[in-house]
Amino acid sequence: MNFNEEHIDENLLGKPSGGFDVPDRYFETLQKNILNKTSENGFFVPDEYFETLEARIQQRIPKGKVIPLNAAIIKKYMIGVAASILFIAGLFLIKNKTSNTIPTPIYSEVNVTNLSNEDILNYVDVEDITDSHIGETALNTNDKTQKQVEDYLLNNVDEELIID
Amino acid sequence: MPNAQTDDRDLVAQFRNEHTKNSAFSMILQRYQKKVYWHVRRIVINHDDADDVVQNTFIKVWENLEKFREDSKLYTWLFRVATNEALLFLNKKKAKFNTPIDEMDYSLLDSLQSGSYFNGNAAELKLQTAILTLPEKQRLVFNMKYYDALKYEEMEEILGTSVGALKASYHHAVKKIEEFLKKD
């Protein structure tokens, strides 16, 4: 190789390191690499990566009150279950109330004087009042007032009406 | 002049205030995004995967920083979140390709050798390959000690492993890497 003057000038001007070489575009990226640390131990990142990273993260962040998806679904299920329970319980209560309540219009027309002896006997046959709670209560009440009733009858009832 | 730790505490306090929350988060991002990125990148190797993990990490930070108890430093907490996210990502990836959890993930080696966003020289490539042969925990410990220059006490906060166990892990990792490099 002939080292003419022109060639020497080219070497000196183009390669000021005196023969040492650097990769293409090394000096263009050196400052950026140092300032932005876009390369580390052989790993590197695309151009402008760190400049845009924050914006991309900010875009993905839900602003305002964050409710995790699972919690939102569980909450909806809980509301649904609670509503179903209330609905079923409501239906059950209404049904019970309807079946236990004796229709008012019928009883409004019922009068003791209207009842025949047969009706009363049928009622007594059907309803064993001595076994019922109401019956027991009534009997207890009668026990307490039995003395007063006997006294009243003895003092006020006409003796001719007393059947032996 | 306030030190970084004081600043971090201020940032956490500002994050808890609705009026300064966004600006505090932005400052946390600017301060730690690169450190978190390189930490994650060395775990998952591939740039696109690292990008996903870093974004997920900071979203977790946004969602959970208010609950941060401040019994550790902010950046060790950030590293813990990032490490967990990266390991979770790798485990999902292994599950996807039916790779046993304890087995080396050869896709990481493929990512490294394919040269995608990796332009290291032969020595750097060989060292990274050696690091990839380590068991996951040893790889983490080696990277955090050798590259991130973290103290064992900080690594203890991040990994929840005792200092003694971490020192042993690092020792074993160095020995294995030396043996790998001597082979060729």
**Within a domain: B115:** no
pLDDT in tens, A18-33: 566 666 776 666 555 5
Among B136, B178, B180, B181, CA closest to B159: B136
Predicted local distance difference test score (pLDDT) of residue B184 = 65
In chain B, residues 52-91 whose CB comes closer than 8 Å to chain A: 54-55, 58-59, 62-63
Residues B75 and B129 in one domain: no
Give A77 to chain B, closest Cα distance, Å. 24
Q: Answer whether residue B139 is part of any domain.
A: yes
Mutation target for A interface from B19, B21, B41: give the one with most A CBs within 10 A. Answer: B41
> Is B112 contained in some domain?
no
A123: which DSSP letter?
A: H
Confidence of residue B119 (pLDDT cuts 50, 70, 90): confident
Position B175 scores a pLDDT of: 96
Instruction: Give the domain extent around B80.
Output: 1-99
Instruction: Work out how many domains chain B is built from and give that number.
Output: 2
The mean pLDDT of A56-71, rounded to a whole number, is 72
Say whether both B7 and B80 belong to one domain. Answer: yes
Are residues B131 and B49 located together in one domain of the fold? no
Buried b (16+ CB within 10 A) or exposed e, A38-60: bbbbbbbbeeebbeebeeebeee
Residue B143 shares a structural domain with residue B71: no
One domain for residues B51 and B134: no
Task: Provide the pLDDT for residue A149.
Answer: 75
In a domain, B68, yes or no: yes
Question: Is residue B34 a part of any domain in this protein?
Answer: yes
Chain A interface includes B120 (CB < 8 A): yes
Q: Are residues B35 and B4 in the same domain?
A: yes
Chain B residues lying within 8 Å of A57, measured CB to CB: 29, 33, 54-55, 58-59
Contact B33 A53 (CB under 8 A): yes
Q: What is the pLDDT of residue B79?
A: 96
Alpha-carbon distance values, B27 to A47, A130, B12, B87 (Å): 22, 85, 10, 26
B80 located within any domain: yes
Q: pLDDT at position A68, please?
A: 53
Q: What is the pLDDT of residue A119?
A: 74
Sign for the CA dihedral angle at A18, A22, A24, A28 comes to negative
* Tens of pLDDT, residues B147-160: 999 999 999 999 99
Residues B34, A37: C-beta atoms closer than 8 Å = yes
B129 and B69 both lie in a single domain: no
| Residue spans per domain, chain A | 5-60, 64-101, 113-164
